[in-house]
Structure 1
């Protein structure tokens, strides 16, 4: 797993390849949109910033992203409690953080460009619906259903039929989230922004596609590995 960026990498190229790095640039107040066509080293010099610290933060984002690639092979043979803990730590928390960080960008782009690109108003609407659905869904998993699955795993559940029905309900919620993401992908032309759009516009589409991937892996671990053990 070789870190692909260096001080000579253009800021805009880093964000285009790994949209989550925009959070790092935002924290350092580095303009990755209009002023992103410069090497990282130059951006650091302009802001009187420590290039090594920036690279370390970028590397942390990269490594966190790459670690997701091993989920399928690692978690298939893991016990249910381990999978639940992994989903909460790596998907629930990451999804909550992404909604928090992405929401201002979605709002800004729809407000600034919505008149000329009315599809952005629908993107905003769908995004808010997805955000509400997923936050409520994850809270239900952590507060109610995951504790019941833990009891199913150790054989101490009192009402197995009720527990199974709760799991089935979660799968229906997964289907609904998938339908929203499918509509988002359709209305954005597979998350492809118009050629003449600004960096923030492109960033929103890139991160929406990343959010789709994060959600799909979250659902995969539950629907295809965890839930079938009890249904």
Structure 2
């Protein structure tokens, strides 16, 4: 089982780079990516202020699941879109396994 701290270390820097360009490339047809970017920014700030093992992200992951329809990709998703949803979905899963 992956550790959430490792997920943060491996994925959050990439998500920080990918979520904004995703809004530029897909925001017109998929306005939900703006909220995905905002939610990730909130999560990233919380993680930077606390240790990953103690940060509470229940609200953010819950809203991400709702906004993304449980990380379902649209038919016109590019590789970056796919990578963002894949990393967020895995982070969500590991976070909840660790916080059950």
TM-score above 0.5: yes
The runs of 5 or more residues in structure 2 that have no matched partner are none
Measured after TM superposition, the shift of residue 93 of structure 1 is 4.0
Aligned counterparts of 2:27 and 2:84: Cα–Cα separation in 1: 13
- Greater length-normalized contact order (CA 8 Å, ≥ 6 residues apart): 2
Aligned to 2:58: 178
Question: Secondary structure, in 3 states, of the residue corresponding to 2:17?
Answer: helix
Q: Deviations over 1:130-155 (max 9, x none)?
A: 1111222217x7xxxxxxxxxxxxxx
Query: What CA distance in whole angstroms lies between the structure 1 residues aligned with 2:30 and 2:4?
Result: 32
Match of 1:126 among 39, 42, 49: 39
**RMSD (Å), alpha carbons:** 2.1
Q: Who is 1:137 aligned against?
A: 50
- Which residue number corresponds to residue 102 of structure 1? 15
Instruction: Look up the match of 2:95.
Output: 215
Structure 2 distance, partners of 1:194, 1:101, is: 21
CA distance in 1 between counterparts of 2:87 and 2:71 reads 9
Q: Structure 1: state its 5+ residue gaps.
A: 1-67, 70-89, 142-169, 221-231
Corresponding position: 1:189 with 2:60: no
Larger Rg: 1
* Residue 211 (structure 1) shift: 1.2
Distance in 1 between residues matched to 2:44 and 2:94, nearest whole Å: 13
Aligned to 1:203: 83
For the residues of structure 2 that align with 1:102 and 1:95, how far apart are their CA atoms? 10
Q: Which has the higher helix share?
A: 1
Distance in 2 of aligned mates of 1:196 and 1:184:
19
Separation in 2, partners of 1:196, 1:93: 30
